[in-house]
């Protein structure tokens, strides 16, 4: 696998602050708001969450 292919497989992590909770995907105001049904993700205990629909990765930063 080339370096370019590896980079394409790595998805960026979306950082979320506690003030933005509860966390839902897609997040309000995103252009992809109609991509899949809104789902609330539990991030408080582990500090990380992955959307089961689109695979978006979220990380709690504070």
Torsion, Cα 31 42 54 28, to 10 degrees, reads -10
Output the pLDDT for position 32: 66
pLDDT by position in tens, the chain (length 62): 444 444 444 569 999 999 999 999 998 777 766 678 999 999 999 999 999 999 999 999 98
Q: What is the DSSP letter of 18?
A: G
pTM above 0.85, yes or no: no
Query: How far is the C-alpha of 32 from the C-alpha of 23, rounded, in Å?
Result: 15
Q: What is the DSSP letter of 8?
A: H
Output the pLDDT for position 30: 79
């Amino acid at each position: 696998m080339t370096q370019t292919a590896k980079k394409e497989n790595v998805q960026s992590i979306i950082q979320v602050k506690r003030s933005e909770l509860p966390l839902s995907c897609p997040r309000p105001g995103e252009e992809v708001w109609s991509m899949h049904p809104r789902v609330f993700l539990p991030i408080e205990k582990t500090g990380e969450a992955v959307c089961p629909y689109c695979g978006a990765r979220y990380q709690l930063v504070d």
